[in-house]
Amino acid sequence: MAGDFESSSRVNRFDKKRKNTKLISALVGIGALLLIVFLVVLFWDNGEEQEQAMNDEDQQDENINETEEESEKIQIEEVEEQEENIEEEGLVVSENDEETTESDEEEDSSSNEESGEEETVESDDDNVKRAFRKDWEPIGTEQSGPHTSNYDKDSTDWKEMMEAIEVATGLPNDSRVNWWVGRAGDQKTVATVSDSNQDTIYRVHLEWIENEGWKPTLVEELIENDQADRYSN
């Protein structure tokens, strides 16, 4: 009887020990599993954070590159625009210079046409200081048909003679003294005129060109007014 109890006690102790061992093993296994899970979660989070950090860094680099590219593009466009403006300004300046040159040339040409090159002419008259011709053109006329010189101051012929004298001498009609205007041959007229102060005295020779008007042919600058006693204004 005592032997059975002792045997039963050993069995119970063995079972209890075995149960404790299993429990400890289970606890150790659970602890190990929890540790593994913890480590996995820890490494997983670190990996995601690193990946996110790398992605953020890549995105930041990409944004910086895009900003730099955009800035460079804007700078290039500004430079190109400035170059275009400079070229346009240069073209405008060049065109203006050309127009100014052409205008000056036209003015010079017009001035030369009006004045012409002066040609000195020898004179046997002791009262002539100098004599000259220019490439004068007929001044034009309102008259038509056969021409007869008319020295009436109200006539068209007279007015056209006065205009021809002004062209030849440069003395305006309203400030010029006409000392003598008369016939000098067929379809020819001679006039002695001066400025209002009589500082400059001219003898002007005119010739009528059919349907074209009076044309100056010779101007003589006089030393003395040889028509002062025959004043005709």
pLDDT at 4 exceeding the cut of 60? no
pLDDT digits (tens, 9 = 90+) for 125-140: 999 999 999 999 999 9
The count of other CB atoms within 10 Å of the CB of residue 151 is 13
Contact 128, 222 (CB under 8 A): yes
Query: What percentage of the chain has pLDDT greater than the value 90?
Result: 46
205-210 LR contacts (CB < 8 Å, sep 24+): 206/161, 206/164, 206/165, 206/168, 208/147, 208/149, 209/138, 210/147
What does the mean pLDDT of the chain come to? 81
Domain locations in the chain as residue ranges: 1-115, 117-230
pLDDT digits (tens, 9 = 90+) for 182-224: 999 999 999 999 999 999 999 999 999 999 999 999 999 999 9
- The partner residues of 221 in beta bridges, in order of sequence, read 130, 202
Whole-angstrom CA distances from 22 to 10, 17, 37, 225 are 18, 9, 22, 158
The count of other CB atoms within 10 Å of the CB of residue 128 is 15
pLDDT digits (tens, 9 = 90+) for 137-172: 999 999 999 999 999 999 999 999 999 999 999 999
**In which band, very low, low, confident or very high, does the pLDDT at 24 lie, cut at 50, 70 and 90?**
confident
Query: Can you tell me the distance from the alpha carbon of 216 to that of 168, in angstroms, rounded to the nearest whole number?
Result: 6
